[in-house]
């Protein structure tokens, strides 16, 4: 089991590949569809995911796709179950298993991620359906005295319980502690919150006997809040990020896959490229982007069949740019090729 988990984790991030996070819950994908005036019906959601997953050539840049519960049960236009379709392309199917962030009792403004009840059984079912990795996202807000030690601790404990159950089932857990960037904090405040979160997380993973060689870590970059006047350069973000992870993430972790967290598409690519331009990297530093891989694809699609090919070209382009960033080979010239 251990060797299998390690092999899966490594295969997802080999050859500069990253992850497509296509696990938007029905509520979240509905928001994305609202922005392009597409009705969020089950068929439209299937059809959009079909567009993404049948993009020819995406397997060169995408090693894993995270699915939502509805999506893992759906089929492509030709009737193939999505997990089967992805696996046949050499792309590892994954599944979001948390049931969302909910208010944390006694901690105004903070959340605890739920979904542990019945998780062992759900994981076994998802394994049967082809899932070989999973995702659980904890969210931490930065602010006056936030995140609290209480919030950091209980989310670390829940992440570790989830990770341990995944490994028991033969599923690689993506462990995702996300320090949110939607307030106005400084890059130093993000560094501090990220450092405290990672410290607590790895302590708890050790207590709960999680095999660190059979996980992937999905963190935020160390980056200022959106509303902060001092928006740091990619070089500063890259240095702060690598410094923080070198201090708090064990070297045996097989890969770090960043979330985009509200960064614009090109910004997320440029920052990833800057991180991979630095010396002192210990693990593959890749991407597990949702919005930063899909925003322009959704715009190009607009819910119309005649736009599918163009939208797939846009998606392939973003995937290619991000894989280039993992290799530290991205430059702005690549963007021009995408719009050609």
Give the interface with ligand 13P as residue ranges (CB under 6 A): 21, 137, 176, 259-261, 289-292
Give Cβ neighbours of residue 64 (< 8 Å, ≥ 6 apart): 12, 17, 19, 20, 91, 92, 93, 94, 133, 288
17 is catalytic: no
What is the distance between the alpha carbons of residues 199 and 152, in angstroms, rounded to a whole number? 10
* Nearest to ligand 13P of 255, 261 (CB atom): 261
CB of 290 vs ligand 13P, minimal distance in Å: 3
Catalytic, out of 24, 176, 178, 204: 176
Please give the structure tokens belonging to residue 122: 């759900």
CB of 279 vs ligand 13P, minimal distance in Å: 26
Angle at which helix 42-53 crosses helix 26-35, to 10 degrees, equals 80
CB of 76 vs ligand 13P, minimal distance in Å: 22
Give backbone dihedrals phi and psi of 68, rounded to 5 degrees, phi first: -100, 160
CB of 21 vs ligand 13P, minimal distance in Å: 3
* Nearest to ligand 13P of 146, 180 (CB atom): 180
What is the distance between the alpha carbons of residues 245 and 219, in angstroms, rounded to a whole number? 10
- In DSSP terms, 176 is beta-bridged to 137
Catalytic, out of 17, 110, 218, 265: 218
Please give the structure tokens belonging to residue 302: 């607009």
> CA separation (Å) from 125 to 136, 247, 272?
17, 37, 35
* Nearest to ligand 13P of 28, 121 (CB atom): 28
What is the distance between the alpha carbons of residues 176 and 12, in angstroms, rounded to a whole number? 16
* Nearest to ligand 13P of 30, 80 (CB atom): 30
* Nearest to ligand 13P of 19, 300 (CB atom): 19
Give Cβ neighbours of residue 7 (< 8 Å, ≥ 6 apart): none
- For the chain, what percentages of helix, strand and coil (3-state, to nearest 5) are there? 50, 15, 35
* Nearest to ligand 13P of 50, 269 (CB atom): 269
CB of 340 vs ligand 13P, minimal distance in Å: 26
* Nearest to ligand 13P of 48, 289 (CB atom): 289
CB of 1 vs ligand 13P, minimal distance in Å: 26
CB of 79 vs ligand 13P, minimal distance in Å: 28
- In DSSP terms, 286 is beta-bridged to 257
> CA separation (Å) from 122 to 64, 132, 247?
20, 13, 35
Q: Which residue is nearest to ligand 13P (CB)?
A: 290
Residues 71, 83 contacting (CB under 8 angstroms): no
96 is catalytic: no
With CA atoms as reference, report the closest residue to 224 among 267, 165, 265: 267
DSSP 8-state code for residue 258: E
Residues 312, 55 contacting (CB under 8 angstroms): yes
The catalytic residues are 176, 218
């Amino acid at each position: 089991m251990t060797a299998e988990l390690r092999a899966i984790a490594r295969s997802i991030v080999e050859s500069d590949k990253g992850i497509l996070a296509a696990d938007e819950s029905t509520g979240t994908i509905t928001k994305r569809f609202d922005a392009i005036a597409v009705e969020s019906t089950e068929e439209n959601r299937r059809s959009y995911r079909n567009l993404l997953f049948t993009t020819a050539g995406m397997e060169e840049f995408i090693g894993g796709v995270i699915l939502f519960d509805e999506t893992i049960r759906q089929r492509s236009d030709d009737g193939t179950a999505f997990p089967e379709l992805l696996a046949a392309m050499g792309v590892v199917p994954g599944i979001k298993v948390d049931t969302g962030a909910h208010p944390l009792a006694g901690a105004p403004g903070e959340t605890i991620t739920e979904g542990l009840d019945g998780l062992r059984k759900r994981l076994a079912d998802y394994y049967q359906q082809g899932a070989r990795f999973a995702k659980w996202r904890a969210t931490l807000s930065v602010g006056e005295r936030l995140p609290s030690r209480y919030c950091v601790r209980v989310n670390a404990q829940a992440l570790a319980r989830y990770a341990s159950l995944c490994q028991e089932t033969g599923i690689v857990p993506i462990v995702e502690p996300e320090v949110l960037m939607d307030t106005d904090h400084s890059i130093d405040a993000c560094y501090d919150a990220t450092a405290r979160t990672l410290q607590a997380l790895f302590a708890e993973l050790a207590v709960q006997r999680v095999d660190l060689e059979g996980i992937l870590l999905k963190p935020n970059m160390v980056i200022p809040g959106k509303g902060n006047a001092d928006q740091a350069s990619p070089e500063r973000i890259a240095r702060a990020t690598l410094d923080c992870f070198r201090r708090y993430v064990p070297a045996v972790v097989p890969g770090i896959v960043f979330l985009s967290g509200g960064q614009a598409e090109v910004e997320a690519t440029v920052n990833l490229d800057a991180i991979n331009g630095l010396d002192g990297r210990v693990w593959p530093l890749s991407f597990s982007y949702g919005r930063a891989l899909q925003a322009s694809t959704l715009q190009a699609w607009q819910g119309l069949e005649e736009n599918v090919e163009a939208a797939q070209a846009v998606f392939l382009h973003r995937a290619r740019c991000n894989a280039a960033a993992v290799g530290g080979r991205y430059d702005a010239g690549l963007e021009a090729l995408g719009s050609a």
